[in-house]
Chains A and B, each alone.
Chain A
Amino acid sequence: MSTTPFPFLTTLILIPAAGAAVVALIPRQRVAAWVHEAVGLAVSLVTLALAITVLLRFQTSFGGYQFTSDHIWAKTLGIHWSLGLDGISLFLVMMAAVLFPLTLLGARVKRDPRSFVAWVLLLEAACLGSFVSLDLILFFLFFELTLVPTYFIIGGWGYARRGYAAIKFFIYTFAGSAFLLVGMVAVAFIHQSQTGVLTFELPALMHTHLSGTAGVLLFVAFTIAFAVKAPIFPFHTWSPVAYAEAPTAGSVLLAAVLAKLGAYGIIRFDLNLFPQATRTLTPVLLTLAVAGILYGAVVACAQRDLKRLVAFSSLAQLGFIILGTFALTSQGLTGGVIQMVNHGLIIAALFLVIGWLYERRKSWQASELKGLQWSAPVMAGVFTVVMLASIGVPGLNGFVGEFLILSGTFIVHRWWAVAATVGIIIAAIYLLWAYQQVFHGEPTERDKQTRDLGWSERLVIAPLILLIVFLGVYPKPVLDRITPSVNQLIAHVDQVTHTQQPAVATGGGSAAAGTGTGSGSNDAIGGGR
């Protein structure tokens, strides 16, 4: 662990937090609305610049935490301002840092931009804080803090049923968090009883010895909070209504960034703290993941509202991420991590385009739109690329994650992977259906007058498209940074549970050695002939 002289991560959190305060303090009267927006954008761009600096200084082949800073906050309670970054969180931070300025630019609001920008910046600080916290209580604070701006963004700038959506979102996720807090305190106390030290720091707590039952119970407590946040089937019902009623910025940030807090929490805390329980409950989580993949896809097929359709597609995508995580192989977990980033980019682009569509037509009912490719070919082209990425067409980023997840799962839990593969067929059905409804067909006069994307919108979407293509063609730089941390995490789980990845996953010896015949389920498919 290298302690850098400059507190990069602390600064990374403080810039947007301070920015939020500054924006909130600029008076509303006498100052044009765009000033708030410009300041907000500048702050988020500075944050992005700092995040890029961190990326460039990140040590590639090192699996541990980097840029760590550790200061005692409440000594008697053992709470630290403890931050650190590894390959698992690095690209989530990057994704958030990229998406916030784009959201501020591409999903502006007309009413009271000052408060809106301030909430968005506060949300950015909370998200970045969550991704780099290594202290459980600190993480919990940031994790909870994300709720507040989100609640106000949905409730303040949302659509018709915004009140219901905001309250449902808030209460549901808040209820989940109650379990998390109890679980965190319990882990710390168990650790204290074993070592005599009260601490909430993850690197210390991960070596806590837990009995089978205690581990399972704590795992469940943590996982409920994360499962609601992600969301994982069947804890997802707040999400379609929240995504649908939130303003574009809310949908983008909820689905792209906040959803990842749930999946990230599982990887960072569940796997580190409860390896044994993770192993025990793997079948349950795999089943929920596959159920989410298939159920989300099937329900998405029945949606006529574009935002709800994307919401259910997101449920299916989150299922893939969870599946890869609980495969507990290098490929599966690395795939899960990179897919969090991929899904963030894809769904942000989807919600942005759908938002722009709404600005023009005041509708996201597929039946009210037709043949838009006629008048808006650029929008249609953008939607096509993003849709193909979401379906998992190789050459675009979605495929890389999906392939790693499924191959990493296949080598250890074959039938779950096979069932999930069915999900990729259904994904094509609902997205192509949506595309056909909206962009194909004979346009009406109204459709023919729909404006294509303007220059500012193209400017916002272009970086996303470029990243989607780049990560699809050359994901190696990203994978090379994720994999060491993933391997370290899996090694930790394996060491505690006395298990081992199959040889093909690690490439034991050489790739050509083909040691795969050693696995127990050798002839499961071919056996029936």
Chain B
Amino acid sequence: MLHVTYLIILLPLVGFAVQVLFGRRLGDPLAGAVATLFVAASFVVSVGVFFNLLSQPGRVRSFNQNLWTWIPVGGLQVHAGLYVDPLSMTMVLFVTGISALIHLYSIGYMKGDRDYPKFFLYMNLFVASMLILVLGNNLLATYVGWEGVGTCSYLLVAFWFTRESAASAGKKAFIYNRIGDAGFIAAVFLTFDKVGSVDYTTIFANIGKIGAGNITAICLLLLVGVAAKSAQIPLFPWLADAMEGPTPVSALIHAATMVTAGVYLLCRINPLLHASPDAAWTVAIIGAVTAFVAATIACAQDDIKKVLAYSTISQLGYMVLAIGSGAYEAAIFLMVAHAFFKGLLFLGAGSVIHGLHDEQDLKRMGNLRIYMPITFVTFAVGWLAIAGVPPLSGFWAKGDILENTWSAHPGLWAVGIATAALTAYYMSRLTGLAFFGKDRWKNKVPIDAATDFADAHHAEGPIPEPHESRWVMTVPLVVLAALAAVGGLMAFGTPHLSLAHWVDPVFGGNLYDDHESTSTLWKLGTLDGVVAVIGVFIGLRLWVTRAERPKLEWAFLRHSWYINQLFDAVIGRPGTRLAEFSSTVIEDKVIDGAVNGTATLVRRTGNQLKRVQTGYVRNYALWIVVGVVVLFGFMLSRVWWS
């Protein structure tokens, strides 16, 4: 199977081509079904490749294949090539699997949309790009996928393009990511400069020649890319805005897959990070601060998707923190578990939004467990999983990270455990507001116009009762709930088939091996569970009974620490002024002024002589043509007769 790995990418790409050519003719719902089938087929191939890889001895589980030479110039030989190893295989499995589920869900969610086929066109392209990112065997191939997913993210966030806020959010996502891309590509330049190649295997084989300072520089430049793609401080604001996209997009791209690309990249370059403790420390600190800051913001948001978005940022911070601490396996564990439970939570939120006819304001929900039982039960699994309540997957994954940060530095651990408490709290707040309490959706009182949909087409007339969603939407919920519940098994499995055992060869020798003693582990684990339960208890206790507690929702947190305003003041407005100044003063007055000034000077001089000349440029031009034609005629005659 390994030699057909390219099919994993090719299938969704063909699906994309089919949508481009026939999407409109297929229409609703056939276009969605076709798109889903291509992704599902990709998942099936992935499973086949997985078992093929598994059947090989543990230390040689990798497969490197150059498909064609992409950019060959002199010493720079870039190939379009694939690299299959336990790390990329793990990514491929959950990316294709969850993509297939979310495609299925979208068939129902996007029903009736004007641009139904176009949605699936973008989604298929996204899956293909994500798989290129994951499977590329060199930095530049990863970069192809990296920019590809960013582009699809732009297209999908701005999918409802008639809404000005969606269009702006898409643009913002692209530009923030562009900053990251600049860092990424600069790292590629530096790598090429020092190694003469961008292939991962060649880079890692030549680490000794790069020099410590350059390794740190490469890692930090890549970290800029990671910070943008995985929404780390300070490049995270785009992700909250990206919630303007359709909810399946938020689930797939902005929770389960694309945003984890940064984490994947850091795992991929682990030999470099291992060689640069400075870079690793920076990574850890960025992750820890992001995890904490985003969690505080999530405590004070009213939009159900914004809470989940900041929660995603926070969880990504956890993963980055884990990598900085050297706990790659734990990061991957949380990445997979997070894909399950956060994908689930977003799809559940989508079901709620759908059921309430495009209502996203938590303060206008309430008591939905009565009306949407399947959504509630599955959502509850996701909620408890992310809160870290044992024995759901989140508990094990988060515990794994916390234990490792404890080994790395107690300060990092302290930030981690505080974030865990906040996580349990804000997720319980969300659940309490949406599914418990009074039926606030009945009050048709506008609470905050800003959080409303601009085109809430159901806003007129009596508010219909919330309703449960169709099977195409609930089946993915149930599947993801099951995975989120038992995902912790990845940590155990059989001795030969646990996640840790599986991915270990990728990080051979680069992992922390000073694991804590069993008694410490038990103490830390118990503490994690207790913190989670207390957080859940407080969150529910406070928010089931009341929907308004202004003292717990500081403006500072509601406005995301004012980071958008900060960027606007420091970069946005001065940048606009610079552009205006360049255009109106430097261009028009200085540069063009000099040109026209010279012309005027010449003309004034020339006025003295104008009687001898016609003054019409077109006359001169015509004479040039005549002259040239005569010259050429002469020339050609000489050529032929000589």
Chain A residues close to B by CB (< 8 Å): 71-74, 81, 141, 144-145, 147-148, 151-152, 155, 166-168, 170-172, 234, 236-238, 295, 298-299, 301-303, 329-331, 334-335, 371, 373-374, 377, 384, 388, 391, 393-395, 400, 403-404, 406-408, 410-411, 414, 417-418, 421-422, 424-425, 428-429, 432-433, 436, 439-443, 473-476, 479-480, 483, 487, 501-508, 511-517, 519, 522-523, 525-527, 529
Q: Does B158 contact A (CB under 8 A)?
A: yes
A400 touches B71 (CB 8 A): yes
A441 touches B164 (CB 8 A): yes
Residue of A nearest to B203 (CB): A514
A407 touches B189 (CB 8 A): yes
* Residue of A335, A395, A424, A439 with most chain B CB atoms under a 10 A cut-off: A395
B144 touches A155 (CB 8 A): no
A525 touches B196 (CB 8 A): no
B147 touches A148 (CB 8 A): no
A519 touches B148 (CB 8 A): no
* Residue of A335, A422, A479 with most chain B CB atoms under a 10 A cut-off: A479
Which residues of A are found within 8 Å of B618, using beta-carbon distances?
151-152, 155
Q: Does B353 contact A (CB under 8 A)?
A: no
Q: A410-B193, A440-B158, A476-B68 are in contact. Are A171 and B617 (CB under 8 A)?
A: yes
A526 touches B75 (CB 8 A): no
A301 touches B579 (CB 8 A): yes
Q: Mark B48-74, 1 if CB is under 8 A from A, else 0.
A: 000000000000000000001111111
How close is A179's CB to chain B, nearest CB, in angstroms?
14
Q: A425-B175, A507-B196 are in contact. Are A441 and B167 (CB under 8 A)?
A: yes
Which residues of A are found within 8 Å of B638, using beta-carbon distances?
71-74
How close is B52's CB to chain A, nearest CB, in angstroms?
27
Q: Complex formed: what's the CA distance from A480 to B68 in Å? A: 14
A514 touches B209 (CB 8 A): yes
How close is B315's CB to chain A, nearest CB, in angstroms?
28
A-B pairs with lowest CB-CB distance, top 6: A526-B213, A507-B75, A330-B74, A440-B167, A302-B583, A410-B189
Apart from A395-B148, A480-B72, A523-B214, what 15 extra A-B contacts exist at CB < 8 Å? A73-B635, A148-B625, A155-B618, A237-B587, A299-B582, A395-B147, A400-B71, A414-B193, A425-B175, A501-B74, A504-B193, A505-B75, A507-B196, A522-B214, A523-B211
How close is B424's CB to chain A, nearest CB, in angstroms?
38
Q: Does B174 contact A (CB under 8 A)?
A: yes
A299 touches B579 (CB 8 A): yes
How close is B616's CB to chain A, nearest CB, in angstroms?
10
Partner of B214, one of A384, A400, A425, A526: A526
Which residues of B are found within 8 Å of A425, using beta-carbon distances?
175, 178-179, 181-182
Residue of A nearest to B188 (CB): A407
B158 touches A394 (CB 8 A): no
Which residues of A are found within 8 Å of B69, using beta-carbon distances?
476
Which residues of B are found within 8 Å of A334, using beta-carbon distances?
73-74
Chain B residues close to A by CB (< 8 Å): 68-77, 115, 118, 140, 143-144, 147-148, 151, 154-155, 158, 161-164, 166-168, 170-171, 174-175, 178-179, 181-182, 185-186, 188-190, 192-197, 202, 205-206, 209-217, 278, 575-576, 578-580, 582-584, 586-587, 591-592, 595, 599, 617-618, 621-622, 624-625, 628, 631-632, 634-636, 638-639, 642
Which residues of B are found within 8 Å of A410, using beta-carbon distances?
186, 189-190, 192-193
Q: Complex formed: what's the CA distance from A529 to B218 in Å? A: 12
How close is A475's CB to chain B, nearest CB, in angstroms?
6
Q: A410-B189, A432-B171, A476-B70 are in contact. Are A514 and B182 (CB under 8 A)?
A: no
A302 touches B195 (CB 8 A): no
* Residue of B72, B147, B193 with most chain A CB atoms under a 10 A cut-off: B193
Which residues of B are found within 8 Å of A512, using beta-carbon distances?
195-197, 202, 205-206
Which residues of B are found within 8 Å of A298, using beta-carbon distances?
578-579, 582
A/B interface sample: 10 pairs, CB < 8 A = A81-B636, A151-B621, A299-B579, A384-B155, A406-B189, A410-B193, A476-B68, A505-B76, A506-B75, A511-B197
Which residues of A are found within 8 Å of B163, using beta-carbon distances?
442
* Residue of A73, A170, A519 with most chain B CB atoms under a 10 A cut-off: A73
Which residues of A are found within 8 Å of B68, using beta-carbon distances?
474, 476
Q: A523-B211, A526-B216 are in contact. Are A371 and B161 (CB under 8 A)?
A: yes
Q: Complex formed: what's the CA distance from A440 to B140 in Å? A: 31
Q: A171-B617, A508-B75, A511-B75 are in contact. Are A377 and B194 (CB under 8 A)?
A: no
Q: A170-B621, A393-B147 are in contact. Are A516 and B194 (CB under 8 A)?
A: yes
A513 touches B196 (CB 8 A): yes
How close is A119's CB to chain B, nearest CB, in angstroms?
10
A331 touches B118 (CB 8 A): no
Partner of A421, one of B151, B182, B586: B182
Partner of A166, one of B118, B144, B167, B617: B617
Residue of A nearest to B68 (CB): A474
Q: Complex formed: what's the CA distance from A391 to B177 in Å? A: 13
B75 touches A394 (CB 8 A): no
B71 touches A303 (CB 8 A): no
How close is A202's CB to chain B, nearest CB, in angstroms?
17
Which residues of A are found within 8 Å of B186, using beta-carbon distances?
410, 418, 421
A141 touches B70 (CB 8 A): no
A71 touches B158 (CB 8 A): no
B193 touches A519 (CB 8 A): yes
Q: Complex formed: what's the CA distance from A456 to B262 in Å? A: 44
Residue of B nearest to A521 (CB): B193
A475 touches B70 (CB 8 A): yes
Residue of A nearest to B206 (CB): A514
Which residues of B are found within 8 Å of A148, using beta-carbon distances?
621-622, 624-625, 628
Which residues of B are found within 8 Å of A480, using beta-carbon distances?
72
Which residues of B are found within 8 Å of A475, using beta-carbon distances?
70-71
Residue of A nearest to B146 (CB): A394
Partner of B278, one of A74, A299, A502, A529: A529
Q: A144-B624, A148-B625, A166-B617 are in contact. Are A507 and B74 (CB under 8 A)?
A: yes
Q: Complex formed: what's the CA distance from A172 to B617 in Å? A: 12
B582 touches A302 (CB 8 A): yes
Q: Complex formed: what's the CA distance from A436 to B214 in Å? A: 39
B631 touches A141 (CB 8 A): yes
Which residues of A are found within 8 Å of B635, using beta-carbon distances?
73-74, 81
A517 touches B74 (CB 8 A): no
Q: Complex formed: what's the CA distance from A81 to B635 in Å? A: 8
Which residues of A are found within 8 Å of B636, using beta-carbon distances?
81
Which residues of A are found within 8 Å of B189, using beta-carbon distances?
406-407, 410-411, 417
Partner of A432, one of B174, B195, B205, B595: B174
Which residues of B are found within 8 Å of A172, using beta-carbon distances?
595
Q: Complex formed: what's the CA distance from A295 to B222 in Å? A: 27
